[in-house]
Structure 1
Amino acid sequence: MTSSPSSARIGDVLVRVDGLVRTYGSTRAVRGASFDVQAGEIHALCGHNGAGKSTVVKMLSGQESPDAGTIHLAGRLVDLGSRQAAQRGGVALVDQELSVVPALTVMENLMLGDPQVGWLDRRRTAARRFRPVLDDLGLGHLRLDQPLTDLGIGERQLVEIARALGQQARLVILDEPTATLSDVESAHVYSAVRKVAASGCSVLFVSHRLGEVLELCDTVTVMRDGDVVATTSTADLTVESLIVQMLGELPERPDRRLDQDTESEVLARIDGLSVPGRVDGMSMTLHAGRVHAVAGQLGSGASEVLRALAGLEPGASGSAVVDGCPVHLGHPSGAARAGIAFASNDRKSEGLFLDKPIAWNLLATRLGHLTRLGVIRGGRWSSSLARLVALCGLDPKRSGHSVGSLSGGNQQKVFVGRSLGRDDVRVLLLDDPTRGVDVGGRAAIHALLRDAADSGMAVLFASTELEELLDLADVVTTMHQGKVVGRHAGRTSGALLLREMTHGSAADEPSAPAEQPPGRAEKREVHA
């Protein structure tokens, strides 16, 4: 991997943030943030959604200008008034929202916005610089002229990371870089980041996955409500103590309230569900009052199972019945009529209307109940909105604000809350329901899903995260390479789930073990 252009020696302060302040109207998003990042250091920036992390990242990457305070790079006071100025100053950013262009090739995406790539012989120069980075990230199989449309979301994320790591920057900012990646892909990122740091580059790493923060990073700066509350060596932290720094206390987990002596109603049956090239004959039963999970790494077929049930996979085959009503696979309207609601893993592209008010986003799927002859019935609108805002734990005074102004955690609450409290929804599907959400928001969303199950719904979510599976699911179905490899109800071994998710089973389609009494899956002592 190419070396960083930084002239600072490892251990010297390369980035100094001193007293940064940023205000939006009457809201002070950042209140005098100060911290140092050394050359060669992997420095984490943590905090709950709305703590000010994203605003600090925007100021360091030139997207926002501070109202007060200074930024020094390699001992020099810098004015990072634009993305271009930040790039020229040696700052590379991987934002939590993908900025790759699907219509371009891998090489063209790698060269986007790179101030080091000139106009003469640019392809050969870029190939020489980026090929080793792609190899380090496990993308050695990609052709540089390959269209990005050929790649899945995980590989696209890795291409974006490669673009930043290959820019020979002095400061690389990685904002939730592994949120869409499997464990294997994340391991490639960790290895590449360590190589970049070893060359003398500073890395600012923003993540809600606290386990990876403690594994990868040297130092953690924690923000809460716009203030920096602590900067600590990771050697002196545990996940619990880091959560306490972020929230002031450990969040409560929702508890299971199902009578273990009573068999719950079978609400849905899926038999022989297949999606060409991705899912092969998947069958399962969903019970009312339980939270079910489909667990698997990216490419396992778990996401495709949910999308097929939601009618979003035109080539899907097999059968599904919800509450006695057959589901017409391949048609979203048929899934909705059968009582299925779906929240995808990309709330911004496939779910929310970012420029519309929170109220509109919460009520968008129930307009038939709230209108008459196309006219909104004010009383029903107001009462439904008040009920959903309270259920989701949102600020009622902000219901008229655009949903794009909310933190990621609150956006996800709106996305999930849209499907709650509806008599016509019997099965709630969620793909990676807490992606990019902090530990406090995660607990709140888990509580929403538990409440949905307790109301009589069957909840089915897909996840790659072991902690979430152990903490939330009552029944877990593991998948590997498109096939079911295990089914587990009640207390489950995390090691067993991880082995099945990453290595599969000797049998392509094992018989389901005898179902245990319904109950919580085994909870880890610490939830990251």
Structure 2
Amino acid sequence: MIQIDGLTRAFHGVPAVSGVSFTVGAGEIHGLCGHNGAGKSTVVKMLTGQLTPDSGRIVIGDEPVELRSRQAAQRAGVALVDQELSVVPALTVGENMLLGDIHAPLVNRRRAAYAHCRRVLDDMGLEGIDPDQPLSTLSIGEQQLIEIAKALSQRARLVILDEPTATLTDVESASVFAAIRRVAATGCSIIFVSHRLAEVLELCHSVTVLRDGRKIATTPTADLTVDALIVQMLGEPPFRLAAARKPDHDLAHALRISGLRVPGRLRDFSLTANAGRIYALAGQLGSGASDVLRAVAGLHPTAIGTVELHDRPVPVRDPVAAARHGVAFLSNDRKSEGLFLDRSVGWNLTATRLPFFARAGVLQPRRELVIARALAERSGLPEHRLGDPVAALSGGNQQKAFVGRCLGRDDVFALLLDEPTRGVDIGGRAAIHQLLRRAADAGLVVLFASTELDELLELGDVIVTMRDGQIVNRYDGDVDVDGVLLMRDMTRGIA
């Protein structure tokens, strides 16, 4: 059904995908795996018209196609179910299924359209869901099923599922798997992208592994184990965790987290962390690692549990109170939850410390500039860029500004970071790691979540692996651990 032949794509001269080729048969469920940065997202974007290949070709049926837009991909029969839900809760199920469908008539014929939606839902075994039902009444798992139904309603011949179960429970995932198998039984081809390797082996007929932008192998899943798949993804040389740094401070047990829960996302998480050490939460999307950070920062309104920082209780559902107690949180999305993109670099560095350069409620620009210059020097940012919009900086320098905002403060005792180097190149990543090490050296508790194996092993003094909202294992610095072991914990689950 689908032939991918020699796809290549580079960004600014740096190859992201090089000569990737594989085929997907009619009715086949084909896994696409690889560590973060392996090239999976670039391949998916080329198949869905979001990126144009520099070379190579895509053949659907017997016809080579040029997919230069999402609309062109949809006309060719390619549909994408992204890991982020794109449904609109305020609309009905039927309205969501018709949203964005290029085949929908200019004049909406509701009865005929809803009859088509009803047939698609029935084919997926969703007889209990009414097209007239508000989407907001459905569970997250059911909404994910509607995303798949939406793709099928667009007459798709190839459906690409990008991490469709990342935020689902086991029961909801089982429903999604049953729906995927029904879809494949109709002859539709499926590409299944997932970090959950056990799911890949359970669901898929074969799996293609990418590493560093190149295809490593395409193998029938019957011939694979989780360990063999991990070796294909990571290669032979293991990464080793260096011996733990001993805290230079007398601030033992600075942060205590006990029985932390977020309904449906996190179960009974407990951790005692010392100042002067860096703690890494290792987990894929939906593992609960990000939820730990957001709950400690007061950003989960349904969180339950106990958090203490230097023997002072920190409310778990009040972000303002958490900040006042010395908790600084950096989101994994610096553009929408961190930086003020239209404001200057200096303004972003000083945005959370206005009282430090204000008198009687009036800001003192000269004092603000002094503080901004000091933070820029500490963060490795060029002083002559302080007046530039932060949006004009590279991704690495934007992240430096985000991290730098929390540095050099007497009122910050715990620094929480979600994916601290997401979207940052190698040079910027090394600089940010150095900033975090210096923060730990200054006596802060540094706790970060990451899906990047290299980052976890390079930066973490203590690594806590997570899956399905629970801790799987804990590795201190005096224990040898490598990427294969971490990946097994993060994907196989709790024994």
Report if TM-score (shorter chain) is over 0.5: yes
2:378 aligned with 1:384: yes
Alignment length (residue pairs): 452
Which range moved further: 302-311 or 94-103? 302-311
- For 1:163, give the aligned amino acid: K
> 1:58-457 alignment to 2 at 5 Å?
58-115=45-102, 118=105, 119-120=108-109, 121=111, 122-133=113-124, 135=126, 144-149=131-136, 155-252=142-239, 254=241, 257=244, 265-268=252-255, 286-288=272-274, 307-313=294-300, 320-327=307-314, 330-342=317-329, 347=333, 351-353=337-339, 373-375=367-369, 379-386=373-380, 401-403=393-395, 424-428=411-415
Offset from partner CA, 1:88-119 (integer Å, 9 cap, x none):
21111112333222332333222222355553
Select 2:7's aligned residue among 15, 20, 42: 20
Distance in 1 (CA, whole Å) between partners of 2:33 and 2:266 is 40
What amino acid is the match of 1:51?
A
Using the alignment, how far apart are the partners of 1:141 and 1:522 within structure 2? 48
**Conservation of the 8 A alpha-carbon contact between 2:158 and 2:189:** yes
The one-character-per-residue Cα deviations of 1:373-422 (angstroms, maximum 9, x if unpaired) are 433656534433339xxxxxxxxxxx96554xx9xxx9999988986897
Using the alignment, how far apart are the partners of 2:66 and 2:89 within structure 1?
A: 32
Cα distance in structure 2, aligned partners of 1:239 and 1:343: 33
Q: CA deviation at 1:54?
A: 1.9
With over 3 angstroms needed to count, the CA separation of the structure-2 counterparts of 1:479 and 1:521, relative to structure 1, is farther
Structure 1 residue aligned with 2:388: none
1:34 maps to a residue whose letter is S
1:124–1:18 distance in 2 versus 1, CA, 3 Å: same
| Partner residue, 1:5 | none
Structure 1 Cα separation of the partners of residues 471 and 351 of structure 2? 33
Deviations 1:39-76 (CA, angstroms, capped at 9, x unpaired): 22222223333333222212211222223322111111
- How many Å separate the matches in 2 of 1:219 and 1:128? 29
The correspondence of residues 507-526 of structure 1 with structure 2, limited to 5 A, is: 525=485
**3-state secondary structure, aligned to 2:487:** coil
The reply on whether 1:47 has 2:7 as its aligned counterpart is no
Alpha-carbon shift at residue 175 of structure 1 (Å): 1.7
TM-score by length of 1: 0.64
User: Which residue number in structure 1 is paired with residue 493 of structure 2?
Assistant: none
Rounded Cα–Cα distance in structure 1 between residues aligned with 2:265 and 2:19: 51
| Aligned residue in 2 for 1:33 | 20
Q: For 1:57 and 1:248, how far apart are their aligned partners in 2?
A: 23
Distance 1:69 1:219 in 2: 22
TM-score, normalising length: structure 2: 0.67
Offset at 1:244?
A: 4.2
Residues 105-159 of structure 1 show CA distances to partners (whole Å, capped at 9, x for unaligned) of: 3332222223555533212321232255363xxxx76554444445565554443
CA deviation string 1:421-445 (max 9, x = no partner):
97644345577x69x99xx9xxx9x
Secondary structure of 1:375's match?
helix
Given that 2:265 and 2:291 are in contact with CA atoms closer than 8 Å, whether structure 1 keeps it comes out as yes
- Contact 1:343 1:429 (8 Å CA) reproduced: yes
Alignment partners' CA distance in 1, 2:465 and 2:47: 42
Q: CA deviation at 1:77?
A: 1.7
Q: Is the 8 A contact 1:361 1:418 kept in 2?
A: no
User: In 1, Cα distance between the equivalents of 2:130 and 2:142?
Assistant: 13
Other-structure match for 1:394: none
Superimposed CA distance per residue, residues 439-468 of structure 1 (whole angstroms, 9 cap, x where no aligned partner): x9xxx9xx99x979976655678999xxxx
SS at match of 2:121: helix
* Alpha-carbon offset, residue 307 of structure 1: 4.3
Contact 2:349–2:401 (CA under 8 A) maintained in structure 1? no
How far residue 247 of structure 1 moved from its aligned partner, in angstroms, is 4.0
Which sections of structure 2, spanning at least 5 residues, go unmatched?
Answer: 358-364, 382-390, 489-495
What secondary structure does 2:8 align onto? strand
8 Å CA contact 2:7–2:21 kept in 1: the answer is: yes
The alpha-carbon deviation at position 171 of structure 1 amounts to 0.7
Q: Name the CA distance, whole Å, in 2 between partners of 1:51 and 1:274.
A: 33
Deviations 1:180-225 (A, max 9, x none): 2233322332332223223222111222333333333232323334
Secondary structure of the corresponding residue to residue 81 of structure 1: coil
- In 2, Cα distance between the equivalents of 1:311 and 1:414? 23
SS at match of 1:527: helix
Q: Cα 1:34–1:310, aligned 2, differ >3 Å: closer, same or farther?
A: same
Closer, same or farther: CA 319–59 of 1 in aligned 2, 3 Å: closer
Distance 1:134 1:351, change over 3 A: farther
Q: C-alpha separation between the residues in 2 aligned to 1:37 and 1:477? A: 32
For 2:82 and 2:301, locate their aligned partners in 1 and report how far apart those are by CA, in whole Å.
32
Q: How far apart, in 2, do the equivalents of 1:77 and 1:489 lie?
A: 48
Judge conservation of contact 1:308–1:329 (CA < 8 Å) in 2. yes
CA contact (8 A) 1:271 1:281 kept: no
Whole-angstrom CA distance in 2 between matches of 1:155 and 1:412: 36
Q: Alignment partner of 1:374: what SS? A: helix
Equivalent residue number for residue 487 of structure 2: 527
Partner letter of residue 341 of structure 1? A
